[in-house]
Every structure is written in structure tokens, then in C-alpha cells.
Amino acid sequence: MMQRYEVKSLKGYKKYYTNKIIWYLITFIVAIILNFVLPRLMPGDPVASIAARATEGMTDSTAIQQVYEEYTEKFGIDKPMTTQFFTFIKNAIKGDFGVSFSQYPRTVSDIVSSSVWWTVCLQLPAITLGWLLGNILGAVAAYRKGIYDKGILPLFLFFSNVPAFGMAIILLFTFAVNLKWFPTSGGYGFDLIPNFSWTFFKSILYHYQLPFWSIVFITIGGQAIGMRSMSIYELNADYVKYSRFLGIKDKKITGYVFRNAMLPQITGLAMSIGTMIGGALVAEIIFSYPGLGTTILSAIKGRDYPLISACTLIITIMVLLANLFVEILYGVIDPRIKASQQD
């Protein structure tokens, strides 16, 4: 009997995860198409600026036109859109995103590889810490009530309603411009060359603080309010009243309440993680942090199709992987998922 139940449980999980993976693959395919098409709908001719730099000082119109045509052929934008798309897919599979228009002759892979780790090392710890702190503070506010709840709730509301760029500007103006505790921009000192010295590492930490805490604060607000509401709902549930009637210790009851209140929060994390990453990219731009946010902004200004496509593709992969991880985690901790998928 037990063996039959375990087999049904495994089938339930398999069905759940298979459905999720299929939907994520469909989403990924649609995202690839949009990542390729949308940048190419931007007005303007990106090759013209490269050709202008290459022909600076030239007066022969025929020679200038010839240079322009050579660059157009080299970048492949004279070919039909479908041909460009399949070439893009074939090269992207090999990790080759072509040459940057705005930073020619530097390759897109080189530009992205130098900025993606700045984004990962900034956003992953900041969003994780903000989510954890938000849920803990929200649960404590619901449990303690009184002055603690009334005093901290307005702060949560403020954090949740301030946009990402607003929080970044507040921290920038307060701690960098007025108090001059931290630098206004950059990932490290402009007078330093990247190396493995302690001086360079300290400079990175020094420039890291404002972008990091701006992301943490905007993440805390919404998570804390959501967790507070769910915890209040769970604390008034019948099973809590019955548990107290039975004399079960508050510490154990709080554990049940926290776990049940966390389930909707995990769902909310999956739904809002794209917004979180988007807000974090805006914070990078405000602080001129050398991550994907700053890179994609410069690419848009230069109408750099290959660089825009590569950056947005990497951001899409990051969001989808983060969502898939949350879905897998949710399937593990919520037994109702397994039960709902069983025949």
C-alpha cells in the first residue's frame, strides 16, 4: 500500500514538473523571437555611425558608399529578416552574438561577459536578502502587533510604493551627494585598474553599498506587507485556535503559521521576480554600475542590435531560471501540488 502511494506521489511530481518545463520552453521560444525582432524595429541606421567613423576625412562619395555597403554586408543586415534570425539562433547556440555596432570591433560576448557577473553578484544577494528580511519582519509585525506593527507598517508601505529609480535617487542624494559617505557612481574607483589586490576589493565594496541597499529596500516593502497580511490571516485560522485550546506551545504554532503564510509569498516571488530584476537594472543605471542595466542602456542609445538582443536574452534566461527554481521549490514544500496532480 505504501509503495503504491509513493509511486502515485512520484507520478504527481513528474506531471507537475513536466507541465512547468513545457510552458517555460514555450515562453523561452517566444522571448527569443521578441529579443531578436524588437531591437530591429527601432528607427535609425546603426551601420551609418560606424561607416561615418571609418570614412572620417574622406570626400569621395563613391568610396564612402562603398565602405557603407561593406559594413552592411559584414553585419548581415542587408539580408532578409528570417535569414538574419536563423543565423542569430545558430550563432547564439555556440555563444557567438556577433560584433557590437556601438563598440566596434569589440565582440558582444566580450562586452556581456564583462558585465553579467556584476549584475549577478549585485542582484542575487540583494533580492534574496530583501525577500528574507521582508518575510521575517512582516511575520514579526503580525505576531507582535501593537507599537511594533504600527511603527514599522508605514515604513513598509513607503518602501513598497517608492519606485526603483526613486529609492536609488533618495540614497544617492542622501548618502553620496549630501553626506558624502559613498561614491555617486561606478563599480570601483576610476583611478584603479582591475586586479586581485585588497585595495581594489575595498573599492568594489565601497561602490557596492548604495546599489545593493537600494535593491534590498525596494524588495523588503512588498514582501513584508504580503507576509504580514498572510500571517494575520493564519493567526486567526481555526487550526490555530484549536491548537491553543489543546495547549500546544506558541513556538510550535508560530512555526505552522509561518510555513502556511510562506506558501503564497513564494508564489508572489515567482510573479514579481521579473519586476524585481527590472527594478535592479534601473538601480544599476542610476548608479552607473557596470552591469547589464548600464550596458543595455548604452546599447539602446547606439542602436546596437546584437548587444541589445544578447543582454535581453540573458536577462530573460535569468528571470525564467529564477521562476523555474521557485516553481520547483513550491512543488516540494506544498503537498497540495502533489495531490492535485495525482489521477
CB 35 within 8 A of CB 312: yes
pLDDT for the residue numbered 263 = 75
Is pLDDT of 59 > 70?
Answer: no
For the chain, what percentages of helix, strand and coil (3-state, to nearest 5) are there?
A: 80, 0, 20
Is pLDDT of 12 > 80?
Answer: no
pLDDT for the residue numbered 249 = 81
In this structure, of 165-174, 177-186, 262-271, 306-315, the range with the lowest mean pLDDT score is: 262-271
Residue matched to cell numbers 513584508: 224
Is pLDDT of 72 > 80?
Answer: no
**Mean pLDDT, residues 61-84 taken together:** 76
- State the chain's mean pLDDT as an integer: 79
CB 261 within 8 A of CB 325: no
pLDDT for the residue numbered 336 = 60
Task: Report the C-alpha gap between 158 and 227 in whole angstroms.
Answer: 16
Is pLDDT of 272 > 80?
Answer: no
Share of the chain above pLDDT 90, in %: 1
User: Cβ–Cβ contacts within 10 Å for residue 67, how many?
Assistant: 18
**Mean pLDDT, residues 71-89 taken together:** 80
User: What Rg value do the Cα atoms of the chain yield, rounded?
Assistant: 25
pLDDT for the residue numbered 5 = 45
| Residue 327 cell numbers, joined | 516553481
Best-predicted range by mean pLDDT among 11-15, 73-77, 253-257?
Answer: 253-257
Best-predicted range by mean pLDDT among 1-15, 53-67, 306-320?
Answer: 306-320
pLDDT for the residue numbered 2 = 45
Third-level CATH fold of 2-41+79-341: MetI-like fold (1.10.3720)
pLDDT for the residue numbered 75 = 73
Give DSSP secondary structure letters for 213-232. HHHHHHHHHHHHHHHHHHHH
In this structure, of 123-127, 159-163, 295-299, the range with the lowest mean pLDDT score is: 159-163
pLDDT band at 341 (very low <50, low <70, confident <90, very high): low
pLDDT for the residue numbered 337 = 58
